Amino acid sequence: MSLDRFYPIFDDTKWLRQLLPLGIKLVQLRIKDAEPDVLRAEIIAARDLCRAAGCTLVINDHWQIAIEEGCDFIHLGQEDLDDADIPAIRKAGMRLGLSTHDLAELDRAMALAPDYIALGPVYPTILKKMKWHQQGLEKLTEWKSLIGDTPLIAIGGMSVERAPGAFEAGADVVAAVTDITLNADPSARITSWIEATR
């Protein structure tokens, strides 16, 4: 199953309600700080909204709830990997995406036969403090040569204007967060993204 080339990431299902109708086909729900009951309710709502819209939903980090609520795709960062029960995730039939920043992390990730590899931040990002500085487009090309047919996701400082360069460098999918959520007109920005990636 191939992944859509545009991969927005949201921290609240209100974004899904607003923007899924515009034609998003791949989305991540990334909620970092929420009470367990709120978190579960958001995951259930996202699952139902995405199913109704024919959109692939990826849940960031919260693999136990994702399994319990019948979600089918999980994204794990390297820190999340330390605590995740990969056999349980695989036994549940879930697909798995993994973040990478250097070759050691890439080796660790590829050993798990992931459904995609994410590399970031490609450009400087304001989203979170990271020990990794911008990786650059050249690193995308290097990563793609190393992972072969595994889909490669470019994340970090990505915009509609930067997407073509990421694709040319070897990315299969481009992920975006603040380029949408901080935009004055998120709906128009989503439409521009879809036009630029399909």
Instruction: Please report, in tens digits, the pLDDT of each residue of the chain (198 residues total).
Output: 689 999 999 999 999 999 999 999 999 999 999 999 999 999 999 999 999 999 999 999 999 999 999 999 999 999 999 999 999 999 999 999 999 999 999 999 999 999 999 999 999 877 666 666 789 999 999 999 999 999 999 999 999 999 999 999 999 999 999 999 999 999 999 999 999 999
- Total domains in the fold of the chain: 1
- State the Cα angle at 65 between 63 and 70, rounded to 5°: 95
State pTM to two decimals.
0.96
For residue 52, give the CATH number of its domain. Answer: 3.20.20.70
Q: Do the domain assignments include residue 13?
A: yes
Q: Give the side-chain half-sphere CA count within 13 A for 16.
A: 29
Q: How far apart are CA 120 and CA 94, in angstroms?
A: 23
> Which residues constitute the domain of residue 122?
6-197
- Across the chain, which distance is largest between two alpha carbons, in Å? 43
On whether the CB atoms of residues 77 and 97 are closer than 8 A, the answer is no
Q: Do the domain assignments include residue 1?
A: no
